[in-house]
Amino acid sequence: MQAQTDYNGKTVLVAGAGRSGLAAARFLIDRGARVILTDSKDRSALDAAIAGLVESTGDSGALELELGGHRPRSFERCDLAVVSPGVPLALAEFELCRKAGIPIIAEIELAFRHIEGRIIGITGSNGKTTTTTLVSELLSGAGMRGFAAGNIGIPLTGLVPDSTPEDFYAVELSSFQLEGIDLFRPWIGSILNLTPDHLNRYRGYEDYVAAKRRIFMNQKPTDFAVLNADDPGTASLVAELKSTPVTFSRLKAVRYGAFVRRDRIVYRDPGGETDLFPAASIKLKGSHNLENTLAACAMAILAGAPPESLEDSVRKFTGVEHRIEYVAEIDGVQYFNDSKATNVDAAIKSVESFPGNILMIAGGQDKGGDFSLLKHPVRQRVKRLVLIGEAADTIRRALGKDVETSGAGTMQEAVTLCRQYAQPGDIVLLAPACASFDMFRDYEHRGRVFKDAVRMEQQ
């Protein structure tokens, strides 16, 4: 347990009624707080999500809903403000909290102040969900109490009540969550990679990187920082760490960490080298997933998992939903769902996971990415680009000279177009390179709609 706070009789404003906000609200109410839950969405859009919380609080007065917009007065009269990841700290109303001296913290910070057990914090531009899930699987496979939480869809606050000192929490962290930390200190922290992302929310790439680097700000020499030695942006951080650096590389041997040698995964620490398993044991597609596996193995060993226990879990791990997820084969054409490819770099990695003959569905809400970076992989491997969403015209201008393009108004139309153009041996790949919020609730909703559309084509 990291710290204790008495919420009894306090008024806490929770901004954002998504999963994290609802978990925080429930946690605080259970500890005697009066919660003001505020969201820009109106009641009709949130009714299903908040129904359980509203029913459990009843007429107790412990929950006050402010939906359909934020009321400035509430930001001035609370004792604490807790922020969901989807709510920017640049929101004008938070300035009222700052002027009044009211603390503003992320939901992940709230959880950290109360949770028992050790935190393994994982961030980066891409690969967070896969690596976080694999770390928890490696720990569980070793007979340890390993759990996945955070931006992966399971709020860490919701796991606090049942936490024990023996627990290990692999926590996926977005830059948005890290903006709102204060005391948060992972025993093991990792930045997997750094590429431009969320530039629609930051003034520039440097601000985005600065938010990611906050994962290490409270670490001490007894903590560990796991970094990608092949990524210049993360490798350069080693010199500024207070914690012990541990690296991973698919290209070269490292002094302390995990790497590939002659198609085998090797781990080296001050005690010597351990041959772990053949790289062929990794079932996930793409060189980026080799990096994710190296990072996960390094973190699992640091947490105490016996090296000999890792191979079985790695062999069994076939990935997570919406990350280059195999959906179906229709008339000799395979369909893959990589809805989590929400930025340009992730889409590049997705395309490079296949040798070619790809019909790629891309588009959505532009996050300020440079779509021209897709030119080379698209030219080499994509035979047709089917574009959806707000960014369709922007992507067409960037890539239309390099590949045949088609437009679609819905996901079903996009999948139907792909089926019409595809030939046996081709790949239909959803790799949007964009956020989903123009047409869908989130990337998970987008991925499910894609899978439903594929199933419709099977009928």
Please, are residues 188 and 302 in contact by the beta-carbon 8 Å criterion? Answer: yes
- Specify burial of residue 239 (Cβ count, 10 A radius: 0-12, 13-18, 19+): exposed
Q: Pick the catalytic residue: 151, 228, 289, 337? A: 151
Q: Is 78 exposed, middle or buried (0-12, 13-18, 19+ CB in 10 A)?
A: buried
3-state secondary structure of 80: strand
Q: Which amino acid is at 280?
A: A
Bridge pairing between strands 104-106 and 80-83: parallel
Q: Is 198 a catalytic residue?
A: yes
Amino acid at 42: D
- Cβ-Cβ contacts under 8 Å for 276 (sequence gap 6 or more): 258, 264, 265, 266, 267, 297, 307, 310, 311
C-alpha–C-alpha distance, residues 281 and 451, integer Å = 27
403: left (phi over 0), alpha (psi -120 to 50) or beta: beta
The answer to whether residue 151 is catalytic is: yes
198, 212, 285, 451: which is the annotated catalytic residue? 198
Residue 324, phi then psi, degrees to nearest 5: 45, 50
Q: Is 285 left (phi over 0), alpha (psi -120 to 50) or beta?
A: beta
Torsion, CA 187, CA 318, CA 340, CA 50, rounded to 10: -70
Residues 103-120 as b/e (b if ≥16 CB within 10 A, e otherwise) read ebbbbbbbbbbbbebebb
Cβ pair 78, 11 in contact under 8 A: yes
The closest of 86, 96, 21, 36 to 66, measured between CA atoms, is 36
Long-range contacts of 270-275 (CB under 8 A, 24+ apart): 274/307
Active site residue 128: yes
Buried b or exposed e, range 8-19, using 16+ CB within 10 angstroms: eebbbbbbbbbb
Catalytic residue among 70, 128, 288, 340: 128
Are the CB atoms for 373 and 353 separated by under 8 Å?
no
Task: Give the residue numbers marked as catalytic.
Answer: 128, 151, 198
